[in-house]
Amino acid sequence: MNNHRVRAGRYFMMGNVACAEGAVAAGCEFAAGYPITPATEIANTLAERLPQVGGAFFQMEDEISSIAAVIGASWTGKKSMTVTSGPGISLMLENIGFAVGVETPCVIVNVQRGAPTTGMPTVGVQGDMVQARRGSHGDYEIIGLCPCSPQEMFDHTVIAFNYAERYRTPVFILSDAFVGHMREEVIIPEPEKIKTEYRKIPEPGTDPQKIRGFLDEDVAPMPIFGKGFKAHVTSSCHDEYGKRNLIDISALDNFIRKLSNKILKHKEEITLVEQDYEGAEVVLVSYGAVARAAATAASLARRNGLPVGTLRLITVWPFPGEEIGKMAKKARQIIVLENNLGQVYPYIKAEAARFAEVSFLPPKLVGEIPDPEDILKKIREVMK
Amino acid sequence: MSELIHPLHRFIRPSVTHTTFCPGCGDGTIAQSILRAIDGLNMGMDDFVFVSGIGCAAWIPSPLFNADVLHTTHGRPIAFAFGIKMGLPEKKVMVVSGDGDLVAIGGNHLIQNARRNIEMVVICVNNGIYGMTGGQAAPTTPMGVKTTTTPYGTFENFFEDIAGLVSAAGASFVARWTTAHPRQLTASIKKAIRKKGFAFIEVLTQCPIQFGRKMGVGNAVQMLEDYKKRSISVQEGKKFSREELNGRIVIGEIVDLDKPEMVEEVTRIKMRAMKGEGKAIDRGAKG
C-alpha cells in the first residue's frame, strides 16, 4: 500500500483499519485518543498514516484530554477526530457537550463493547446508542452513523467528516466490536470520487466585531483561530457574536434552540436509511451489525413466501422519525432488532405505534448477533 | 481636551466595558503583567491564542483580551491548548487559569504536558481558594482554614510548591511570583513567552473577599504586604532548611533550561514520514 492520502484499491480489510483509511481520505489531520479495546486498531493505523500526509495522532493522558485536544485542533482549522469505546465516551461527555455548544466540527468513533462499566471489551453490543444522543448534560442534537460493514467503516467516516464540517458539530460513528474487527472486502475509490467538504469560515479581513460566528440555524461561518478573527469562544451561554450572557434567560433559550435547530432544520439532508419494504406486511427495523442478520432473515422469509421487508437506520441520530412513520403506514407488523435491551426501540415505537403493531426482539444473549432462524420464528409469531 | 487612553487599552476587546473581579482582586495586576510583557516584546494579540478554564482567573483573557480566546471546561485548558498548539505551531499559546482548575481537577494535564515539554505558557493564578463558587477549600488552602466546605477548618495537607511539582514533571521554565512583584512577574512572562518549551509561572494573588475574610486578613493592601514580608528569593531560599522555609514564599525563576520540545519533535517525525523514511513498526496482522 502506498503513502498517499487515498489508497485507492480493492482490499480485504479490517473495519477499524478501514475507518482510519476513511479518516485520512476525508482529510483528517489531527487525531487524539487513549488506548482502548476494541478501538485500538484505528488509533494504531492513524498513528502510522497521519504523519505520512502531514498530520499526527497523539496518545493523550486520558480520554478527557483526547477530546479536548481534538476540539482545540479543530478550532485551528484542522479536521480532527478521536476514537474510543464506551468507557472512553463516558469520560468525554462533558467536552462533547462543549463541542456542541461552541459548534466544533469533529468526528468521534465509538467502537462499542460489552457494557455497562468495564464489561466485556472484545464483544460487540449496541449499548451506547442513547448515551451518544443524551449523554452530555442539557438539551442538544447530535448526528450518529451506524456502519454495518468494513466498507461502511470507510464510507461512513468520510460522511461523518463531511457532516461535521457542514453543520459544525461533533458526529458520532456508532460502530461495535463486531464491525470494527470484521474483515471483508473494502473498495477505496479514486481520490476524485471521494467528496470532501470543508467548513465555511468568515471572509479574511472582516472586522472581528462584525463576525456573527455562532448560533445560526443555517450554520455560521467558523471564526477559526490564527486568522485575525479575534474569536471569543465560550461554552457559557452566548449570542451570535460569541458574547457571553449569563443573566438573560431569553439568551439561554436562543442558545439552546439555535443549536438544536441547526441539526433539526437539516434533518432531511442528514438522514440516511436503507429501505426494502415494498409490499411487506412485516418490516424488520435495525441498524449496525444486527441489520446483517435482519437482511438475511428477510430474504429467508421471502423465500418462504412471507411478505417481509427491512428498514435499516444508517443515521440513528437525529432520529429519523419521518422515515419510520412513512414505513409504518405501509406495514402491519414492525419488529425492532437491536443488540441491547431496547434502546432505540422506544423512539421507533413512539413514531410507529399509531400505524402498526410494534414489537421488540431482544437478543437471545446480549452481545450475540441474532440467528436469522430465530428472527424468522418471531416473524411467524407476529403474523399469526 | 483629548481623552486619556490607557496604553494597553488596545489589547482589550472593544465590547468589554468592565471586569467581573471583586474589589481588591489581584487578577487585574496579573492581566496587566501579561499585557505589558506582550507589549514589551513588541508582539501583538494576533501572535497569541489564549486558553482558560473555569474560575475567576479564567476571566482574565476571556473576554478581556482582544485575541483568539478559547474558554474551556473546568480543569482542561491545557489539554485544549495542546490541540491548538499542534494546529498552529507558529502561534504563541497561553493558558491563564486558577489553582483549582490547573492543580486540582486538571492536575494530570499539567503534569503530563510539563513532561512532554510542549511549547506553551501556563500562568497559574493561585489565590488559595475557590473564589467564584463562594470560598470553598482548594488543594492550595492552608491546613486549618475555615471555608464554606470546611466549617471546622481544613484537615488536608496543602500544595505549598506547585512550581516544584511542575519542575519535577520536566518543564523547561518554571517561576513563582506574587502580585506584590508585578515587575518581576512581567519580566518572567516575557522569558516564558520566548521559551521553546513548557513555561509555567505560579502567581500567588490576593483574594480579599473569599480568602482574606476567611483568614482574617480583610484587605488587599494587608495581603500584599504579607506577601512581601513572607517572600524570599530562590537564591536566598537555598540557604534555609525545609522547616525554616515553612510559611515563606520562595519567589523567582526556579527552572530555566533547554531540552527537546515536543512540537519540534513532532514536526521532525512528520517530515521523515512524508518522505517515506523511518518505516513504522510491523504490527503483525492487519487489514
Whether ipTM tops 0.90, in short, is: yes
Pick the residue from chain A with its C-alpha nearest to B275: A52
Closest C-alpha to A59, from A41, A81, A34: A34
Closest C-alpha to B70, from A89, A226, A347, A337: A226
A273-383 domain in CATH 3.40.50.920? yes
Q: In percent, how much of chain A has pLDDT > 70?
A: 100
Indicate the pairing of strand A30-33 with strand A80-84. Answer: parallel
Q: Average pLDDT, stretch A99-117?
A: 98
Cβ neighbours of residue B262 closer than 8 Å, sequence gap 6 or more:
B116, B117, B118, B119
Residue spans per domain, chain A: 9-193, 273-383
User: What integer pLDDT is reported at residue A258 of this predicted model?
Assistant: 98
- B interface test, pick of A80, A230, A237, A247 with most B CB neighbours within 10 Å: A230
Which residues of chain B have a CB within 8 Å of the CB of A103?
none
Dihedral angle sign, alpha carbons of residues A256, A262, A268, A270 = negative
User: What integer pLDDT is reported at residue B3 of this predicted model?
Assistant: 82
Report chain A's C-alpha Rg in angstroms: 21
DSSP-assigned letters across all residues of B85-96: HHH-TTSEEEEE
Cross-chain CB nearest to A17 (options B266, B276, B287): B287
Q: In percent, how much of chain A has pLDDT > 90?
A: 99
Q: What's the longest Cα–Cα distance across chain B?
A: 79
Q: Evaluate whether A225 touches A231 at the Cβ level (below 8 Å).
A: yes
User: What integer pLDDT is reported at residue B34 of this predicted model?
Assistant: 98
Query: Is there a contact between A30 and B83 if contact means CB atoms under 8 Å apart?
Result: yes
Mean pLDDT of chain B: 94
Q: Evaluate whether A324 touches A348 at the Cβ level (below 8 Å).
A: yes
Query: Is there a contact between B76 and A230 if contact means CB atoms under 8 Å apart?
Result: no
User: What integer pLDDT is reported at residue B227 of this predicted model?
Assistant: 96
- In terms of CATH architecture, what is A9-193? 3-Layer(aba) Sandwich (3.40)
Please, what is the end-to-end C-alpha distance for chain B in angstroms?
Answer: 76
Burial, B155: exposed, middle or buried (Cβ in 10 Å; 0-12, 13-18, 19+)?
exposed
User: What integer pLDDT is reported at residue B170 of this predicted model?
Assistant: 98
User: What integer pLDDT is reported at residue B213 of this predicted model?
Assistant: 85
pTM across the whole model: 0.97
* Cα–chain center distance at A292: 18
Same CATH topology for A9-193 and A273-383: the answer is: yes
Query: Residue A288's pLDDT band (boundaries 50, 70, 90)?
Result: very high
Quick: pLDDT tens for A168-213: 999 999 999 999 999 999 999 999 999 999 999 999 999 999 999 9
Residue B214 has pLDDT above 90, yes or no: no
CA distances from B50 to A30, A228, B72, B100 (A): 20, 13, 11, 18
Residue A117 has pLDDT above 70, yes or no: yes
Angle at the Cα of B39 (from B35 to B42), degrees rounded to 5? 150
C-alpha cell at B167: 519542575
Q: Coil, helix or strand for A27?
A: coil
Contact residues, A window 216-245, toward B, CB-based 8 Å cutoff: 225-226, 228-236, 241, 243-244
C-alpha cell at B229: 514580608
Burial pattern A217-234, b for ≥16 Cβ within 10 A else e, equals eebbbbbbbbbbbbbbbb
Could you give phi then psi for residue B90, rounded to 5 degrees? -80, -10
Q: Which amino acid is at A170?
A: P
Q: What's the longest Cα–Cα distance across chain A?
A: 69
User: What integer pLDDT is reported at residue B1 of this predicted model?
Assistant: 60
Angle at the Cα of A361 (from A133 to A308), degrees rounded to 5? 105
Cross-chain CB nearest to A68 (options B45, B79, B287): B79
Which DSSP state fits B102?
I
Cα distance between residue A172 and residue A81, in whole Å: 10
Could you give phi then psi for residue A351, rounded to 5 degrees? -85, -35
Query: Is there a contact between B70 and A11 if contact means CB atoms under 8 Å apart?
Result: no
Q: In this predicted model, which residue has the larger pLDDT, A225 or A384?
A: A225
Query: Is there a contact between B70 and A75 if contact means CB atoms under 8 Å apart?
Result: yes
Indicate the pairing of strand B48-52 with strand A357-361. Answer: unpaired
Residue spans per domain, chain B: 21-274
* Cα–chain center distance at B127: 12
Pick the residue from chain A with its C-alpha nearest to B13: A230
Cβ neighbours of residue B3 closer than 8 Å, sequence gap 6 or more:
none
Contact residues, A window 78-137, toward B, CB-based 8 Å cutoff: 78, 80, 94-95, 98
Mean pLDDT of chain A: 97
- In terms of CATH architecture, what is B21-274? 3-Layer(aba) Sandwich (3.40)
Query: Residue B287's pLDDT band (boundaries 50, 70, 90)?
Result: very low
* Cα–chain center distance at B229: 23
Least reliable range by pLDDT among A310-324, B4-18, B204-218: B204-218
Closest C-alpha to B52, from B71, B37, B68, B35: B71
Say how many C-beta atoms besides its own lie within 10 A of residue B252's C-beta: 18
Q: Tally the residues of chain A.
A: 384
Which residues of chain A have a CB within 8 Å of the CB of B80?
68-69, 71-72
Residue A115 has pLDDT above 80, yes or no: yes
Which residues of chain B have a CB within 8 Å of the CB of A18?
287
Query: Residue B201's pLDDT band (boundaries 50, 70, 90)?
Result: very high
Cα distance between residue B137 and residue B129, in whole Å: 5
Q: In percent, how much of chain B has pLDDT > 90?
A: 90
Which residues of chain A have a CB within 8 Å of the CB of B72?
68, 98, 235
Residue B286 has pLDDT above 70, yes or no: no
User: What integer pLDDT is reported at residue A3 of this predicted model?
Assistant: 81
Residue B281 has pLDDT above 80, yes or no: no
Could you give phi then psi for residue A173, rounded to 5 degrees? -105, 115
Closest C-alpha to B287, from A140, A11, A320: A11
Quick: pLDDT tens for A327-348: 999 999 999 999 999 999 999 9
Quick: pLDDT tens for A12-69: 999 999 999 999 999 999 999 999 999 999 999 999 999 999 999 999 999 999 999 9
